Amino acid sequence: MVITALACSLVGQQERVTILPGTRAATLYRVEDVTEAYYCSYGVNPEYRRLLEGGGMVISGVGSQGEARIVELPTHPFFVATLFLPQARSTAETPHPIITGYAAAASMHRVARHSESGAFPSS
């Protein structure tokens, strides 16, 4: 199975995530290390890492033992998946960088879609 139970549950824990350079996550976070809160007991099965990377997926954030914590598809307008919940520490005053990136990508997609059709709705 690509998704498997973690050896140790991360429910209720905070863990450092190292953001790998040259990735969308690095562009969004603009720092090398972050601490994120977890609410899960499952993750990417390390036996599938090479297969996923061979298919174009990029591991862009890793835990202390090199475990995948953030994955992305660089060819997609915005495919960033995390083991943690970005929305858990996102507020209107200080939105999480991944939430901000998603909103920006959605807005750019909307603008591009409507400019191609020649019509842009007012609402």
Give the CA count within 13 Å in the CB-facing half-sphere of 105.
15
pLDDT band at 118, cuts 50/70/90?
low
Cα–Cα distance measured from residue 61 to residue 98, given in angstroms and rounded to the nearest whole number? 12
Burial label for 48, CB within 10 Å (0-12, 13-18, 19+), is middle
SS3 content of the chain, % helix, strand, coil (to 5): 35, 25, 45
Question: Does 14 have pLDDT greater than 70?
Answer: yes
Residues 6+ apart with CB under 8 A from 105: 77, 78
Domains in the chain, start-ordered, CATH in brackets? 3-117 (3.40.50.880)
Question: Does 123 have pLDDT greater than 60?
Answer: no
Picking from 66, 61, 70, 69, the residue whose alpha carbon sits closest to that of residue 19 is 61
99-117 per-position pLDDT tens digit: 999 999 998 888 877 776 6
DSSP 112: H
24-67 per-position pLDDT tens digit: 999 999 999 999 988 888 889 999 999 999 999 999 999 998 99
